[in-house]
Amino acid sequence: MKCIVTAGPTFEPLDQVRRLTNFSTGRLGTELGNFLAARGHDVTLLLGQQATYDGPRRARQVQTFTTTADLAGRLQALAAEPARAVFHAAAVSDFTFGKVYTRNKEGELVAISSGKLSTRQGPLLAELVPTPKILPRLRGWFPNARLIGWKYEVEGARDEAVQRALNQIAESRTDACVVNGPAYGPGYGLISPAGNCLHLAGTSELFEALAELIRC
């Protein structure tokens, strides 16, 4: 089956030398792509340029992405060849930079721009603007594919993390969501649209469950 896996972080530039990103290494998505390739699937791995995991990449095709917009464009381009499954495990930045301001002598905010913002300008105030969500657009690009999203939750209890995963499924019309992070606790939860939570102790069990999901 033709499968697409996204992995690793996006980044958003502040200027030509600085950027906003996250701690994602790209390991889980890369290893999922390796697992699916070993099972005989035709895998395309979209991997963040800033991913730090340097393990083997056994996907038939590997493309690197940069910003959220770049990742969205690559996914939309791949929609020309229908995929059986899309595993959206990339850690997409929730924010990009808007305007950057400094204060003049009167204390008023003045917008500035530069290829390299200087510390000589003193304290700066940067807007954080939400990036357009990719996951809700996948159903339009891949109407017949199995779509699996990810939800990494830091705060709250496990039941709250599971509920947020369910909300993601409903909002994005996906077929499942993998939830993990400190709020969920050790392991992973594979959440179905019906609200069932299959607890999986580690990545081996998770990959087996995801492979079974796309067989159905």
The mean pLDDT value for 24-40 works out to: 98
Report the mean per-residue pLDDT for the chain: 96
Reported as a pLDDT band with limits 50, 70 and 90, residue 216 is low
**Residue 205 sits in the same domain as residue 115:** no
The mean pLDDT value for 133-137 works out to: 98
**Residue 102 sits in the same domain as residue 70:** no
**Residue 16 sits in the same domain as residue 75:** yes
Task: Give the pTM.
Answer: 0.94
Return phi, psi of residue 103, to 5°: -110, 135
192-214 pLDDT, tens digit per residue, is: 999 999 999 999 999 999 999 99
44-63 pLDDT, tens digit per residue, is: 999 999 999 999 999 999 99
**Residue 120 sits in the same domain as residue 164:** no
Is residue 124 scored above 90 in pLDDT? Answer: yes
Reported as a pLDDT band with limits 50, 70 and 90, residue 32 is very high
Q: Which of 112, 129, 146 is where one domain is finished?
A: 129
DSSP assignments along the chain, one per residue: -EEEEEESB--EESSSS-EE-----SHHHHHHHHHHHHTT-EEEEEEETT----S----SEEEEE-SHHHHHHHHHHHTTS--SEEEE--B--SEEEEEEEEE-TTS-EEEE--SS--GGG-S-EEEEEEPPPSHHHHHHHSTTSEEEEEEE--SS-HHHHHHHHHHHHHHHT-SEEEEESTTT-SSEEEE-TT--EEEESSHHHHHHHHHHHHH-
Is residue 150 scored above 70 in pLDDT? Answer: yes
Q: Which of 73, 108, 129 is where one domain is finished?
A: 129
**Residue 118 sits in the same domain as residue 181:** no
Give the count of domains, the chain: 2
The mean pLDDT value for 20-42 works out to: 97
- CATH number of the domain that residue 13 is part of: 3.40.50.10300
**Residue 104 sits in the same domain as residue 160:** no
State the pLDDT at residue 64.
Answer: 98
**Residue 103 sits in the same domain as residue 35:** no
**Residue 10 sits in the same domain as residue 81:** yes
**Residue 123 sits in the same domain as residue 150:** no
55-95 pLDDT, tens digit per residue, is: 999 999 999 999 999 999 999 999 998 899 999 999 999 99
Identify the domain containing residue 102 by its residue range: 96-129
